[in-house]
């Protein structure tokens, strides 16, 4: 069997399309079990395609989205696993601003699913501090609103 070569442009288009499809499912109010399964797969597929052609910023955003999907679905172990990957990528590549704030947010959200109050509060506080330092006002306001949606 011969291998099919996927061009950089195709990887990028698939990565973006799948990322956006995952967001649409996250925002869907009446998701079905089938939607939840599709959301898990689309988040992973997006990250896979970014992994083929992207940069650390793409990788950490993909890990963040996978963590968010799993947090929303109450899947604590994969939520925390991918949140940690997201944070590690930010730290190893000196990724700051909006992205480091959301990496801390992912950790807080994953610990909230786990019911770990101490770690939830630790990362929520780190997220809030990082969020207050986001340069662009609209991004800062959006982030701080999102942070308030986390419930323990």
Helix (H) or strand (E) holding 63: helix 56-72
In the chain, DSSP assigns E strands to: none
**For the chain, which residues make up each domain, given as ranges?**
8-147
> Is the domain 8-147 a CATH 1.25.40.10 member?
yes
151: alpha, beta or left? (left if phi > 0; alpha if psi -120 to 50): beta
C-alpha 139/C-alpha 122 separation (Å) is 22
For 15-57, the pLDDT digits (tens) are: 999 999 999 999 999 999 999 999 999 999 999 999 999 999 9
Q: What tens digit of pLDDT does each residue of 69-87 get?
A: 999 999 999 999 999 999 9
Crossing angle, helix 137-147 and helix 98-114, to 10 degrees?
0
pLDDT per residue as tens digits for the range 111-146 = 999 999 999 999 999 999 999 999 999 999 999 999
Q: How far, in Å, CA of 1 to CA of 14, rounded?
A: 23
């Amino acid at each position: 069997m011969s291998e099919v070569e996927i061009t950089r442009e195709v990887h990028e288009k698939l990565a973006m399309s799948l990322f956006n499809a995952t967001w649409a499912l996250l925002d869907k109010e009446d998701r079905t079990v089938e939607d939840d399964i599709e959301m898990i797969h689309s988040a992973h597929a997006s990250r896979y395609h970014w992994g083929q052609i992207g940069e650390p910023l793409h990788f950490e955003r993909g890990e963040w989205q996978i963590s968010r999907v799993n947090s929303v679905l109450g899947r604590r172990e994969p939520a925390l696993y991918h949140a940690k990957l997201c944070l590690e990528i930010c730290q190893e590549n000196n990724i700051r601003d909006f992205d480091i704030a959301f990496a801390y947010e992912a950790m807080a959200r994953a610990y909230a699913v786990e019911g770990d109050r101490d770690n939830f509060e630790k990362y929520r506080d780190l997220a809030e501090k990082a969020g207050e330092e986001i340069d662009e006002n609209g991004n800062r306001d959006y982030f701080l609103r999102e942070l308030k949606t986390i419930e323990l």
